[in-house]
Copies of this chain bind each other. A is one copy, B any other.
């Protein structure tokens, strides 16, 4: 297998990164998926990532960073149930520097399997709120990765300028099984329908004019 053909996709199990995986497959890449436990409440997303990997018949590695929970406790509502979950963006939704942690491990994995490309699911609707979803961040990270490995590794978020509704339209064209993706920050039997991520998901399906297959609590 050619080095150029391999790519790593950081797959959360949400719809953005899942669409990235389908997009990459459609571009002709051989997929190597990485998913993470990092202390998030919604460990269910990891199960959805595994379902997507199975659907894509792509190898996936689950990296367990649950030890980080102690760092994110008291900091992020995604990792600490005692911090109120909000329906609109609020500072505690941010898991500080999370994407850098995940990308740094993706770079190590890229070196280990001789892959030259890493894709992740940062998207345009999040870009104003989440610094580690911005192009200037991940391009700086890419430069750092090249300095830190002496290898040319490319890091891209192909949808970083695209609103979530457009990602849904694109995903729909690839046949992404959105019912096998999990966006909710909580870990209930169904999507809560109330957290920022559920609200964004609902609104994006409505904006896209595509039927939302998600079962919400409300």
- Chain A residues engaging chain B, CB cutoff 8 angstroms: 61-68, 70-72, 74-75, 95-101, 103-105, 107-109, 111-112, 131-132, 134, 136-137, 140-141, 143-145, 147-150
Contact = CB atoms under 8 A, between A and B. Distances in A.
B71 A105 contact: yes
B141 A144 contact: yes
B140 A144 contact: yes
B65 A100 contact: no
A126 B1 CA distance: 34
8 contacts: A72-B108, A103-B104, A104-B104, A131-B147, A131-B149, A132-B149, A137-B148, A140-B144
A74 B111 CA distance: 11
Given A97-B149, A131-B147, A71 B104 contact: no
Given A134-B147, A141-B148, 17 more contacts: A62-B67, A63-B71, A65-B65, A65-B67, A68-B105, A71-B109, A71-B112, A96-B149, A97-B107, A97-B111, A100-B107, A101-B101, A103-B104, A131-B147, A131-B149, A136-B147, A143-B144
A90 to B, nearest CB: 15
A96 B112 contact: yes
Nearest to A66: B64
Contact of A140 (B104, B108, B143): B143
Contacts of A105: 68, 71, 101
Nearest to A133: B148
Given A131-B148, A148-B137, A67 B71 contact: no
Given A63-B68, A134-B147, A97 B101 contact: no
Nearest to A131: B150
A143 B105 CA distance: 19
A136 to B, nearest CB: 6
A100 B131 CA distance: 18
Nearest to A65: B65
Contacts of A65: 65, 67
